[in-house]
Structure 1
Amino acid sequence: MVNKKFGIAWDVLHDVMKMGGAVEAAPCNALLTALGRGNDFKRMSELMAKMEEMGIKPDVITFGILINRLCKSRRIDAALEVFETMSGGVKGVSAEPDVIVYNTLIDGLCKVGRQEEGLRLMERMRSQGGCAPNTVTYNCLIDGFNKVGDIERGRELFDKMKEEGIPLNVETLNTLLDGLCRHRRLNTAFDFFNEMQRDGLKGNAVTYTILITSLCNVNNISKAMELFNQMLSAECPTDAIVYHCLISGLSQAGRMEDASFVVSKLKEAGFSMDIVSYNVMINGFSSKNKPDKIHEMIEEMEASGVKPDSVTYNTLLAYLSKAEDFKSAHKVLDRMMDEGIIPTAFGTLIHAHCLDGDIDKAMRIFRDMGSKSKIPPNTVIYSDLINSLCKKNDVEQALYLMEDMKEKGVRPNTQRFNALFKALRENNLLKKALQFMDRMVEQACNPDYITMEILTEWLSGVGEIERLRKFVQGYPVSKPQPQQKDGIVAL
């Protein structure tokens, strides 16, 4: 569609020129802008060639459009070539770069990590271009140095701005604050913020989001709430992001009353909760065991048209399992399956059923993991099941799970071997025990005092102390050992 429109537009211009009409750069610039939005550099080059062919001289806007699109596509070297063409009079083309062109290039250089080149271009701007750097110039450079962790250079440029009397704006403030907070220099960030406030430069929604998020990241929730209240008192225009950040921080810290307060303020400001905020609130109320509040959140989500996602369902599944509300947990699980959402909280439900003594349900869920969700069980899930099966003296299924673990490459821990050895001893399955002693050796799973207590009592009672000695020394015990004679292994 863009190509078709370009062709029609160019045909119209071409016809005008054929009829002797004068065509300047402006309509061509409009075409260049449209092509640039689609990153159609091939047609942009064709248009420039046609302009040269028709004797249409590009102006500073023409070159600015080209440089802007090239910088946004991170083709900085190509943008620099265009810049040299316009400022060097190549092919008789000459257009003096203005401050917008310089700032576009400086920003492009900083975004690809070429800050020093950006600084040199600013000096060239002063000396050769006859343009004075402005607030945007410095903001681009400060941001560039902050992004690579050179906060001191960013602060030096800020001080230079003040010396030269270049106006500071809220973007300058936010750029420096973001750099300081990213590198965990929160005290310096707040000193700078307070200094700017005293100088009359007030923060905006972005300012408060940067600071509040940084405080939540270091778990300084009290200070974050203090700053939030300061923001409300100052009647600073805000956006939803600052509320969402604080709701998340408060919920993770377990301060659910404060989180609910911020939710109410978010609604008063005319914003809505998003799925992330609902999820952190549900998780926070789950941690506090507040089923009524969880139910309230779910109802509000549905009324607001916010669809639960994988995090919502898995949080609910984990909570209901721990609360041993198995009926509700299985409803959530069935709904997840129906909606094609993969449960990651299988382990919590299996663990809860094991604690409840319902190993049959636990095993059914285990089988569903493989047949329906395709999620591979981990060591913890196998451990819960094997431990419960051994307590029920269901050695056959416990052995099956141990073999399944081996087949799937899941490494059992010492506690699982201990549970199995205990069950094998109670059923007098010495041969199997010797095989699993070998497996412990193969998998470099070190026995603990419980292992040694079980095996020592059992093996010494059946005259197998030598096998126990070899096991402790890290040798196989179930297979016959090669006979040695005079220190040489007999073949």
Structure 2
Amino acid sequence: MPAMNLSSHSLQLSTLSSSSSSSSSSSSSFTLHSSQNYKPTRTRISCVSTRPRRRVGGRKGEDPESRELVRLVMRSFSEKEPLVKTLSKYVKFVRTEHCFLLFEELGKTDKWLQCLEVFRWMQKQRWYIADNGVYSKLITVMGKKGQTRMAMWLFSEMRNSGCRPDTSVYNALIMAHLHSRDKGKALAKALGYFEKMKGMERCKPSIVTYNILLRAFAQARNVEQANALFKELDESILATDIYTYNGVMDAYGKNGMIREMESVLSRMKSNQCKPDIITFNLLIDSYGKKQAFDKMEQVFKSLLRSKEKPTLPTFNSMIINYGKARLQEKAEDIYKNMIYMKYSPSFITYESLITMYGYCDRVSRAREIFDELVKSGKEMKVSTLNAMLDVYCLNGLPMEADLLFEEARNMRVTPDSSTYKLLYKAYAKANMKELVQNLMKVMDRDGIVPNKRFFLDALEAFGSSLPSPEKNLRRTQYTART
């Protein structure tokens, strides 16, 4: 394979005719060394790509010593050793920056109650001073965990403590509401706060505020409201940034709204905002999910010619999306080219390959990759186990999935709620009642408590596996005749 040409070129996206089928044999042949030319039929959008500047320095509290102390605290507390007791052991060393890092670490799991324990512990220390930053961080954590009421309580607590809200606090509050399940109500609340912010000098909406709302309305497929916000932003003193466009394009892309995504890309180009690797990746993923492989390949070639460099998510996305279209050879070519370009596969890459082979009916090859990972001695991720289980379930092999599930404990990997959910749905769909009952026993033994969503999905799977009333009537009539 000849050396790749990475000279700087513009990103050129052509609105191609939709007649090219992604899964048909007529889809465009593509390799990194292809000389195929793409001819646009209507519009052309071009952006010059450069690397984004990196911020100098890190956030406060992100020095290695602070991280190490937080890791020590996280390792030390348990059911027998409460978090507050552990913090008291290190009271001479723990300060606000450490608590911020603790909020982050605890927020990555469902330990939001422990965040409140840390907060209460902070308030009792001599060095504690009520600060908007602390409340903003906690409100953000509560919002991500769907604890909107707790976020509102913290907002009230902040005002009672004498702190005056600022833009960052309202941004966190808007985000907290947008994480709630009732999206219609959440968007109305968010707009209410947005309008309120305009009337308060300390809380004027920032570009971050607009970015949050633009992405939210794009996710809700509310193009009219998103365009209204764009217009308002254009008329303000605020300047759009790369996060503005990436967020909106990603939301449209994930919803399959390719035309709207391309419209935002055109707006981005007209405002002289330069794309980064996130822009390239989201375009590649969005086109791939829609199986618009001609456009996906074109963006990838533009990426290789730009000053940016592909990342592992670039390749992982292409492997999976080719796999879903059952284009095994193309997916394998992408993997080979990735290795040729000196990229080291991550566990997500291997999961992408396992999933790809599952879609291409190559179950044995998927299992070979899985077994190689097990034998490698690398730490097994539950997501990798889930990927292999999903391949079995996708190919109608519930017994093989059940056998692998039993073997999982010997692989030093602990199943999570998503593991049980995908197995429950697969067993129910296959009408394997004994496997369902055994799985419920294991869930009970492991303390896995299914929520409402779990059972709704299970009932849906059961419903699809049961014969329709018409089939039951025909079966009764046939039995009566015989």
TM-score range, shorter chain: 0.5 to 0.7
Render the CA deviation track for 1:334-357: whole Å, top value 9, x for unaligned: 999777679xxxxxxxxxxxxxxx
SS in 1 for 2:205: coil
Partner in structure 2 of residue 106 of structure 1: 214
SS in 2 for 1:141: helix
Q: Which amino acid is the alignment partner of residue 79 of structure 1? A: A
Q: 1:242 and 2:305 equivalent?
A: no
Equivalent residue for 1:277, pick from 384, 388, 394: 388
Partner in structure 2 of residue 171 of structure 1: 278
Map residues 133-282 of structure 1 onto 2, 5 A cutoff. Answer: 133-236=240-343, 238-251=345-358, 253-255=360-362, 258-259=365-366, 262-263=369-370, 266=373, 270=378, 272=380, 273-277=384-388, 280=391
Q: Which amino acid is the alignment partner of residue 62 of structure 1? A: V
CA distance in 2, matches of 1:237, 1:192: 22
Greater Rg by CA: 1
Q: 1:412 and 2:468 equivalent?
A: no
CA distance in 2, matches of 1:113, 1:178: 18
Equivalent residue for 1:43, pick from 153, 165, 183: 153
Render the CA deviation track for 1:399-429: whole Å, top value 9, x for unaligned: xxxxxxxxx9574399x76xxxxxxxxxxxx
Render the CA deviation track for 1:421-460: whole Å, top value 9, x for unaligned: xxxxxxxxxxxxxxx44xx7xxxxxxxxxxxxxxxxxxxx
* Contact 1:70–1:78 (8 Å) recurs in 2: yes
Render the CA deviation track for 1:268-314: whole Å, top value 9, x for unaligned: 59453414415747998989xxxxx99x9799746314589899999
Judging changes above 3 Å, is the alpha-carbon distance between structure 1 residues 242 and 341 closer, same or farther for their aligned structure 2 residues?
farther
Judging changes above 3 Å, is the alpha-carbon distance between structure 1 residues 35 and 334 closer, same or farther for their aligned structure 2 residues?
closer
CA distance in 2, matches of 1:100, 1:254: 45
Provide the aligned C-alpha RMSD in A: 5.0
CA distance in 2, matches of 1:63, 1:339: 45
* Contact 1:87–1:94 (8 Å) recurs in 2: no
Judging changes above 3 Å, is the alpha-carbon distance between structure 1 residues 309 and 146 closer, same or farther for their aligned structure 2 residues?
closer
Shift of 1:136: 0.7
Q: Which amino acid is the alignment partner of residue 77 of structure 1? A: A
Equivalent residue for 2:190, pick from 79, 84, 87: 79
Q: Which amino acid is the alignment partner of residue 224 of structure 2? A: E
Equivalent residue for 2:225, pick from 113, 117, 135: 117
Q: Percent identity?
A: 17
CA distance in 2, matches of 1:109, 1:283: 33
Equivalent residue for 1:34, pick from 122, 138, 160: 138
Shift of 1:210: 2.1
Render the CA deviation track for 1:80-138: whole Å, top value 9, x for unaligned: 2222222224xxx543332222212222222222233223323322322x221111100
Q: Which amino acid is the alignment partner of residue 46 of structure 1? A: S
* Contact 2:135–2:169 (8 Å) recurs in 1: no
CA distance in 2, matches of 1:222, 1:4: 53
* Contact 2:242–2:275 (8 Å) recurs in 1: yes
CA distance in 2, matches of 1:335, 1:50: 54
* Runs (5+) with no aligned partner, structure 1: 17-22, 288-292, 317-331, 343-373, 380-407, 418-435, 441-491
Judging changes above 3 Å, is the alpha-carbon distance between structure 1 residues 281 and 28 closer, same or farther for their aligned structure 2 residues?
closer
* Runs (5+) with no aligned partner, structure 2: 1-112, 443-461
Judging changes above 3 Å, is the alpha-carbon distance between structure 1 residues 283 and 46 closer, same or farther for their aligned structure 2 residues?
closer
Shift of 1:191: 1.8
* Contact 1:110–1:144 (8 Å) recurs in 2: yes
Judging changes above 3 Å, is the alpha-carbon distance between structure 1 residues 232 and 299 closer, same or farther for their aligned structure 2 residues?
farther
CA distance in 2, matches of 1:97, 1:378: 53
Normalised by the length of structure 1, the TM-score is: 0.52
Judging changes above 3 Å, is the alpha-carbon distance between structure 1 residues 81 and 220 closer, same or farther for their aligned structure 2 residues?
same
CA distance in 1, matches of 2:438, 2:169: 56
Judging changes above 3 Å, is the alpha-carbon distance between structure 1 residues 213 and 184 closer, same or farther for their aligned structure 2 residues?
same
Which of the pair is proportionally richer in helix?
Answer: 1
Render the CA deviation track for 1:53-83: whole Å, top value 9, x for unaligned: x5x5432223222223233334222222222
CA distance in 2, matches of 1:62, 1:279: 41
* Contact 1:35–1:43 (8 Å) recurs in 2: no
RCO comparison, higher one (Cα < 8 Å, 6+): 2
Counting matched residue pairs gives 327
* Contact 1:29–1:65 (8 Å) recurs in 2: no
* Contact 2:139–2:172 (8 Å) recurs in 1: no
Judging changes above 3 Å, is the alpha-carbon distance between structure 1 residues 59 and 221 closer, same or farther for their aligned structure 2 residues?
same
Judging changes above 3 Å, is the alpha-carbon distance between structure 1 residues 269 and 127 closer, same or farther for their aligned structure 2 residues?
farther
CA distance in 2, matches of 1:309, 1:48: 40
Q: Select between 80-89 and 271-280 the one with higher mean Cα deviation.
A: 271-280
* Contact 1:63–1:82 (8 Å) recurs in 2: yes
CA distance in 1, matches of 2:179, 2:423: 37
Render the CA deviation track for 1:200-222: whole Å, top value 9, x for unaligned: 43333332232212211121111
Q: Which amino acid is the alignment partner of residue 412 of structure 1? A: R
Judging changes above 3 Å, is the alpha-carbon distance between structure 1 residues 298 and 162 closer, same or farther for their aligned structure 2 residues?
same
